[in-house]
Amino acid sequence: MHIHFLGTSSGVPSQTRNTSSTAISFDKTKSWVMVDCGEATQHQLQKSPLSFFYLDVICISHVHGDHCYGLPGLFSSMAMNGKKSAVHLIAPKEVISWLHATFHMSDTKLNFDLITHDISEMAGSSDFNFCDIEVIPLKHRVSSFGFKVSEKLIPKKLKIEKLTKDGIKSGPHYNKLQKGEDVEFGSELLLSKDYTFQSWQTRRVIVCGDNEKPTLVANWCYDIDVLVHESTFTHSDLHKVGFHTGHSDAKRVAEFAQLHQIPTLILTHFSVRYHGEHGLECLRLEANHCYCGNLILAEDFFIFSIEKIKLHLEK
Ligand SMILES: [Zn+2]
Ligand SMILES: [Zn+2]
């Protein structure tokens, strides 16, 4: 499972950072998920290993332009290049209406299915064939959300000892059980879940939209590998610009990640005031002071790969 940073700036782009977009790709499928799509994200994509032919789900955290202005251009290019597979769009209903109005105005016809989901009506976990996505309500100047993405396509291994003990000799049913199918064996129904185990631990990541209150993620973060959270300012700069901006600072995000023992914290969405050389050091120092885990300050095109934790059958 890999997290690709396509845009790490807040509000406006600079020479080194584009506006928000983060992608999540997987090991056992080419399908991938995009969270937010700032203007010119399609240009960033061309410099990344990702292809929009396999982009299956787009999540938009909130209505601000630095998180969604890239959508019309991206969709238009996908259509012109002949994408055929469906795209799910999880977004505020305003973004969905705006997109349809833009397609109508510009005579843009999509030759693939665009399946839209109003984010305010999404409850619990959405089940896609390669991942699960949970929507997390956050706090910002407008309603904003985070997304917990859990991988699903994890190969299974057979519990050979248990199969042998239960008198089930090898045959084509072994293969079916391993693929997750329940099979009839004599007069019995063998359940795949009884005879297999995952070859590695499910990996999970939370990618947040703009959010002034990191503690809102608390109920979702107990089993995650990585938290990607905005850190638009340092703590003292946020005091100067004012809390009405609805953003977080490095200190409060790091304190939250430390309290919940989150293994890796990746900060992103940096104000342009920090984009110059060594500009991020004040944010890094502030976060390092409160957080002992693996701290990363994202750059455009940085890819973080979450290592697999292999599972072994308990005897
Ligand atoms: Zn933003
Ligand atoms: Zn915003």
Domain boundaries of the chain, sorted by first residue: 2-154+199-305, 156-197
| Distance (Å) from CA 143 to ligand 1 centroid | 12
Quickly name the fold that domain 2-154+199-305 has.
Metallo-beta-lactamase; Chain A (3.60.15)
Distance of CA 282 from the midpoint of ligand 1 (Å): 20
For residue 221, the model assigns a pLDDT of: 96
Q: What is the reported pLDDT for 314?
A: 64
Buried b (16+ CB within 10 A) or exposed e, 64-88: bebbbbbbbbbbbebbeeebeeebb
Nearest ligand to residue 19 Cα: 1
**Residue-wise pLDDT tens digits, 45-94:** 999 999 999 999 999 999 999 999 999 999 999 999 999 999 999 999 99
Nearest ligand (C-alpha, residue 144): 2
Query: Could you give phi then psi for residue 7, rounded to 5 degrees?
Result: -160, 130
Q: Is 113 a catalytic residue?
A: no
Which residues are placed with Cβ below 5 angstroms of ligand 1, an ion? 66, 210
Dist. CA 150–CA 161, nearest whole Å: 30
- 254-287 pLDDT, tens digit per residue, is 999 999 999 999 999 999 999 988 899 999 999 9
In the numeric block, which tokens belong to residue 162?
A: 């248990």
Q: How far is the CA of 140 from the centre of ligand 2 (A)?
A: 7
Q: Which ligand is nearest the CA of 7, by number?
A: 1
Task: Using the mean position of ligand 1's atoms as its centre, give its distance from the Cα of residue 9 in Å.
Answer: 8
* Tokens found for residue 4: 């690709």
Q: How far is the CA of 282 from the centre of ligand 2 (A)?
A: 22
Taking only the tens place, the pLDDT of each residue in 85-94 is 999 999 999 9
CA 125 to centroid of chain Cα atoms: 14
CA of 197 to the centre of ligand 2 (A): 42
pLDDT of residue 42: 98
Q: What is the spatial distance between Cα 270 and Cα 63, in angstroms, rounded to a whole number?
A: 18
Catalytic-labelled residue, pool 36, 56, 66, 300: 66
Query: What is the distance between the alpha carbons of residues 137 and 307, in angstroms, rounded to a whole number?
Result: 28
Shortest-distance ligand to the CA of residue 268: 1
Give this prediction's pTM. Answer: 0.94
* 108-164 residue pLDDT tens: 999 999 999 999 999 788 999 999 999 999 999 999 999 999 999 999 999 999 999
User: DSSP per residue over the chain, as a string?
Assistant: -EEEEEE-BSSS--SS-PBSEEEEE-SS-S-EEEE---TTHHHHHHTSS--GGGEEEEE---S-HHHHTTHHHHHHHHHHTT--S-EEEEE-HHHHHHHHHHHHHTT---SS-EEEEEGGG--SEEE-SSEEEEEEE--SSS--EEEEEEE----EEE-HHHHHHTT---SHHHHHHHTT--EEETTEEE-HHHHEEESBPPPEEEEE-S-S-GGGGGGG-TT-SEEEEE--B-HHHHHHH-GGG---BHHHHHHHHHHTT-SEEEEE-B-GGG-STTTTHHHHHHHHHH--SEEEE--TT-EEEPPP-B-----
